[in-house]
Structure 1
Amino acid sequence: MKYGIAYFPSKQIQDEVNSYRKRYDSHYALIPPHLTLKESFTADDAEIESLIPELKKIANETDPFNITINKVSSFAPISNTIYLKINPSPELQTLFDKLHSGKFSDDADHPFVPHITLAQDLVDQEYSDVFGSLKMKKYDLGDEVDRFQLLYQLDNGSWTVYETFVFGKEFV
């Protein structure tokens, strides 16, 4: 089964992102707005059960931290994906690194670019129009990251939460 690890932002940010995603993101119906912390990976039930204590440990050792978003960016020319760029922070990088070391394989296909997708799979002309208009808009969004979710993919391609891991000391 396919799994992934993500952070789901506050309702305010999700509402802002969904105002674009419902028109411009081919994956709108498959997963809510999110920050991917670990790309999809394949694991069986036994492997997942062995990873859960490690995910709890990572969450327990992580203090909540804030993220800020001030601009729109794009992965062009590699892909016509438009996203809200999350400003890099040491805390976010550390969390990403922990999810790609130890019991977790370092299987990242790309360098870590913290972002929340607004649009993807656009044809060139639509990409240019949408990106041009979004670049002119001002963003001043912030959020507290205090948890992450282990997700799994259903047969229809949609993603759902398997388990949530809250930061700070918890009973394991």
Structure 2
Amino acid sequence: MKYGIVIFPTKAVQDEANSYRKRYDPHYALIPPHITLKEAFEADGDQLEEVVTELKHIANETEPFKININKVSTFAPVTNTIYFKIEPIKELNDLYKKMHSGTFSENQEYAFVPHITIAQKLSHDEYSDIFGSMKMKDIQIEDTVDRFQLMYQLDNGSWTVHDSFVFGKEFV
């Protein structure tokens, strides 16, 4: 089965992202707005048990932290993807690194750029119009991160939560 690890921002941030995603993101119905910590990876029953155990340890060792979103950016010219840029901070980078070491397979395709996608798979003309107007928006959002989620992909391509891992919480 295919799994991934993400952070879901608070409802207020998701609502802001969804105000764009419902028009500009074909993945809108497949997964809520999120920060990807680990791209999709395959795991069977035994591997999954090992992954869940490791994720519990990582969550226990992590304290909640704040993230700041203060601009709209893009991955162009690589892809016509537009996103809310999250200021890189040590806590978020450390969490990402933990998801790519130890028991975890190294499946990192790109350098880590913390973001929440708000538009993707746009034609060049759509991209130019949308990014042109969005990059002028004044975005100032602070959010608190206190957990991450292990997701799995359903047959229809949508993603659902397998487990949530709350920071600093002791698991028995």
How far does residue 170 in structure 1 lie from its aligned partner after superposition? Answer: 1.2
Partner of 2:134: 134
Give the share of equivalent positions with the same residue, in percent.
66
Q: Distance in 2 between matches of 1:171 and 1:102?
A: 20
Unaligned stretches of 5+ in structure 2? Answer: none
Q: Secondary structure at the match of 1:165?
A: strand
Residues 1:76 and 2:76 are matched in the alignment: yes
* TM-score (ref. length: structure 1): 0.99
CA contact (8 A) 2:56 2:171 kept: no
- The alpha carbon displacement at 1:171 in A equals 2.6
Q: Could you state the TM-score of these two structures normalised by the residue count of structure 2?
A: 0.99
Q: Distance in 2 between matches of 1:74 and 1:33?
A: 16
Instruction: Work out the CA distance in 1 between the residues paired with 2:171 and 2:99.
Output: 20
Taking the aligned partners of 2:106 and 2:47, their CA distance within structure 1 comes to: 16
Q: How well do the aligned residues superpose, as a CA RMSD in angstroms? A: 0.6
Structure 1 CA distance for aligned equivalents of residues 169 and 122 of structure 2: 43
Residues 70, 139 of structure 2: 8 Å contact kept: yes
Rounded Cα–Cα distance in structure 2 between residues aligned with 1:146 and 1:85: 19
Q: Does 1:170 align with 2:170?
A: yes
Deviations, residues 61-90 of structure 1 (Å, cap 9, x unaligned): 000000000000000000000000000000
AA aligned to 1:45 is G
Task: Answer yes or no: is 1:7 the counterpart of 2:7.
Answer: yes
Stretches (4+) displaced over 3 A? none
Runs of 5+ consecutive residues of structure 1 not aligned to the other structure: none
- Distance (whole Å) between structure 2 residues aligned to residue 121 and residue 49 of structure 1: 35
How far does residue 33 in structure 1 lie from its aligned partner after superposition? 0.3
Q: 2:11, 2:169 → 1: CA distance?
A: 25
* Cα distance, 1:56 vs structure 2: 0.2
1:104 aligned residue: 104
